[in-house]
A and B are shown apart, each in its own frame.
Chain A
Amino acid sequence: MSLEVSAGTHLGEFALDADFKSESRVTAIFGSSGSGKTSVLNVIAGLLRPERGRVAVDGTVLLDTGAGVFVSPHRRRIGYVFQDDRLFPHLSVKGNLTYGRIFAGSSRNHASFEEVIDLLDLGSLLHRGIAALSGGEKQRVAIGRALLSSPRLLLLDEPLSSLDERRKEEVMPFLEKLRDRASMPIVYVSHVLSEIERLAGTVVLMASGRVLAVDDASRVKAKAAELR
């Protein structure tokens, strides 16, 4: 599993200039809010087109401004779990979960519906409407929806940040299961060090749009403490 990201762009006053590589199953991007974490995810997903940059997942080039390569978001097969759940309000839980399968094509190895339902314990929610779900349930459905689109890489943007402590503890075990059982690499964004310590192999430390360090969790923790 390999991920290569390099992106430079200007967003108003903010300048993003981030480069990193990772071979881990779970790569965490860690930094305070406004450090450019979400922008990096948007570059990887193709939702943000940087002035210069290169993105490659397991050798497949998705973006290379030098070579004029820009794969549009719907062809990238990047699963994205947003900070806000972004579930479709006009579809049921099941409709949301199966949405990506319509477009995933038949030739690929699908994540099995039953496996994902089981992994995230969604069985009892399938026929509910989105409005009837709690915050934690919504986040689990959003993760399931992304997994079922058979992505080559899964992006998780602070999936716990909108939840209270009790809900966080409810979702965390699912994330740990996901780390151990998912077949694709994961990029996990957070500004909470304890989450990252529990989940990540490689940590990318970011501040004001730049990458300060790429290392394992404990060493990045030391470095982050130094910076404070």
Chain B
Amino acid sequence: MFTLTGEELVAIKLSLRVALVATALSLPVGILIALVLARGRFLGRGLLNALVLVPLVLPPVVTGYLLLLTFGRNAPVGRWLADQLGIVFAFHWTGAALASAIMAFPLMVRAIRLSIEAVDRKLEQAAATLGASRLSVFATVTLPLIAPGIFAGAILAFARAMGEFGATITFVSNIPGETQTLPTLVYTFTQVPGGDAAALRLTLISLAISLAAILVSEALAQRVSRRLHAI
């Protein structure tokens, strides 16, 4: 009952790789967007915020279909990327990473943004009077203070990416060894007779990963608030 088959191991490893790549590559963008949303005062800020958040409420299948329309083999952007840079998303594990990154992005940005908004800007002013340029202030004061928030956001995004299903299966399908992740394999098992035990095994693994991520993320968030309100 509790031994994993080769097929299941392949799916788990692929899920880990997809989630790791999705999180690592979207993190710098996430920090930048969170900064812009927390600190920026410009026209279109509301729209940017809505765009970041929309994958949370859009049906995942719609997000996946939009990705297919944009990055599919015959879509303009997809073809250009394949011809010019050799990057292919459609029916490829990188497509699963892209779909996961977009679905996880709102959670990541939200966690980082909240930690940036909690930073006392008076500390940044103090750093400036001590000779730190804006970039130095960010590197030596803002970034260390929000670091736990960044970790929390990254862990949450990683867990969300591990669990991505709807957009992934729509965009890159469910190809064993290429795009068959843990959730899409669970789905496969629920569709075939005798797949119950395997589905349950993978479900438990999924549950464990998600719970651990939430616990760590919450603990880090608490650390942020303790650190920022140390008196």
Chain A interface (Cβ < 8 Å from any Cβ of B): 45-47, 72-80, 82, 84, 86, 88-90, 99-100, 102-104, 129-131, 145-146, 149
Contact = CB atoms under 8 A, between A and B. Distances in A.
Nearest to B122: A86
Given A86-B123, A88-B141, A103-B136, A73 B129 contact: yes
B50 interface: no
Interface string B112-131: 00000000101101111111
B131 A131 contact: no
Interface residues of B, number: 23
Given A45-B129, A74-B128, A80-B129, A89 B140 contact: no
21 contacts: A47-B125, A47-B129, A73-B128, A75-B131, A78-B129, A82-B122, A84-B122, A86-B120, A86-B123, A88-B126, A88-B141, A89-B145, A89-B227, A89-B230, A90-B141, A99-B140, A102-B140, A129-B230, A130-B230, A131-B230, A149-B131
B74 interface: no
A131 B132 CA distance: 23
Nearest to A129: B230
Interface of B: 120, 122-123, 125-134, 136-137, 140-141, 144-145, 227-228, 230-231
A215 to B, nearest CB: 29
A186 B127 CA distance: 19
A213 B190 CA distance: 85
Task: Say whether chain B's binding surface is mostly helix, strand, loop, or mixed.
Answer: helix
Contacts of B127: 88, 99
A74 B228 contact: no
Contacts of A79: 129-130
Contact of B131 (A86, A104, A129): A104
B97 to A, nearest CB: 33
Contact of A131 (B133, B140, B231): B231
Shortest beta-carbon contacts, A-B, top 7: A103-B131, A100-B130, A86-B126, A80-B129, A89-B230, A73-B128, A131-B230
Contacts of B230: 89, 129-131
Contacts of B120: 86
A145 B130 contact: yes
Contacts of A80: 126, 129
Contact of B132 (A86, A103, A130): A103
B131 A82 contact: no
A90 B227 contact: yes
Nearest to B145: A90
Contacts of B130: 74, 79, 99-100, 103, 145-146, 149
Contacts of A149: 129-131
A110 to B, nearest CB: 12
A86 B144 CA distance: 16
Nearest to A99: B130
| Most central of A77, A90, A102, A131 by chain B CB within 10 Å | A90
A131 B131 CA distance: 24
Contacts of A82: 122, 126
